Amino acid sequence: MIAAVEPKRTYLDYNATAPLRAEAREAMLVALDLSGNPSSVHAEGRKARAIVEAARRQVAGLVNAAPKNVVFTSGATEANKTVISQVRFGAVAASGVEHPSVLEAARKRGEAVSILPVDNRGIVDLGALEDWLVGTQHLGERLVSVQWANNETGVIQPIDEIAQVVRAHEARLHVDAVQAAGRVTIDLSADPIAFLTLSSHKIGGPHGAGAIVQGCGGELKDPLLVGGGQESRLRAGTENVAGIAGFGAAAECAAGEVQSIGRLEALRQRIEAELTAMSPEAVVIGKGQSRLGNTLSVALPRARAETLVIAFDLAGVALSSGSACSSGKVARSHVLEAMGLGEQIVQSALRISMGWATTNEDIDRLLEAWSKVMKTDRAARQVA
Ligand code: PMP
């Protein structure tokens, strides 16, 4: 029998999920073969516990935190919800470009929640933040939630500056660092960040694992899930040992790659230069801004992103339109809208995101597909 040869695919959607790293897979296979519960005192239990604690050290190492401050969760969504639901906060503010897991968790609080505006570069308006901090002083302990880098545009927030402003007003800062981890240096021992969110599958670990890292002034008090005393009573439920093992291994690899982000940045520069030569109407979102080296958000006014994503998929290239669609449904990008970008940009933005396994050949194939897709798309637009 002749085996069908699968056509080569080019995966450029790392901000949605990065492919599993070999090291993570290996660590998971070892963990899957263990039979113990990490809370059990017998030898089998102790082996499982050792795996969880080794992973805790690896994840802490990624952000220069103490391992005891890492609380494992089922992912970043749970981590964000846990932080934002802490009952002691009298008021919560989140930027308008946060991930829905932050925005929806904040809205669920119902009372005293404010959405901070961003400017047309996607940067949080520091004046509005300061006004909010002054105006809510009487409300007791307050929480500000600002992401390190945006999942759609890659735009990096001035976290140091934000952290200083928040500290000066004696509030707490939560940073969703899901997209920044492994791509920028994160040092929790240096920054006054109270809580940091991480996700395993964005750095080459498995889905379904994440963490809250408690930093300076960040003490979790209210678990979202209650029951057993796992994770220092901060997150009940038997640990996802294999998931955590894979997360730990991926965190260690990602920590080693932060310094070499320039490799991806060079690939992105090549894409930007060649794309804009082929499609002079293309608009690079966040150009000139401090952006993640792996992310390119580019709009093609008059095109429809959803149609282009399908065309690229058929041409063997996986990329996404604006944010990752949820349940197969592509929603309008609240991020691009919050930046005040016009309709033409919002509906035509594509996201190309690279990572640890992306090669020059992947970019050759992307550019080849781009040329083909654009010819057909232009023809379609002329007929329509
Ligand atoms: N925050 C950001 C910035 C993200 O990009 C994502 C994933 N798209 C999440 C939170 C949610 O992560 P998880 O899938 O681990 O729940």
Atom of ligand 1 nearest to the CA of 75: 15
Q: How is residue 109 written in tokens?
A: 């609080």
Q: Which atom of ligand 1 is nearest to the CA of 323?
A: 8
Give tens-digit pLDDT for 330-350.
578 999 999 999 999 999 999
Query: Residue 110: its pLDDT value, please?
Result: 83
- How many CB atoms are closer than 10 A to CB 184? 17
Q: What pLDDT score does 7 carry?
A: 74
Q: Which two tokens stand for residue 47?
A: 């082996």
Give residue 99 CA to ligand 1 midpoint distance, Å.
Answer: 7
Looking at residue 185, its pLDDT comes to 97
CA separation for the pair 302, 323 (Å, rounded): 19
The residue among 205, 124, 215, 187 whose CA lies nearest residue 161 is 124
- Complete edge-to-edge strand list for the sheet that includes strand 295-299: 283-284, 295-299, 349-353, 320-321
| Secondary structure (3-state) at 307 | helix
CA of 102 to the centre of ligand 1 (A): 9
pLDDT at 379: 59
Atom 12, ligand 1: residue with shortest CA distance: 76
Q: What pLDDT score was predicted for residue 324?
A: 47
Q: What is the pTM assigned to this prediction?
A: 0.96
Distance CA 207, CA 243 (A): 7
Question: What is the 3-state secondary structure of 40-91?
Answer: CCCHHHHHHHHHHHHHHHHHHHHCCCCHHHEEEECCHHHHHHHHHCCCCCCE
User: Which segments in the chain show pLDDT lower than 50?
Assistant: 324-327, 384
Q: Which residues line ligand 1 (CB under 6 A)?
A: 75-77, 99, 101, 147, 151, 176, 178-179, 199, 210, 324
**23 C-alpha to center of ligand 1: Å?**
22
Q: Please report the pLDDT score of residue 112 as a whole number.
A: 75
pLDDT score, position 381: 63
Asked if 193 contacts 163 with a C-beta cutoff of 8 angstroms, the reply is: yes
Q: Residue 327: its pLDDT value, please?
A: 45
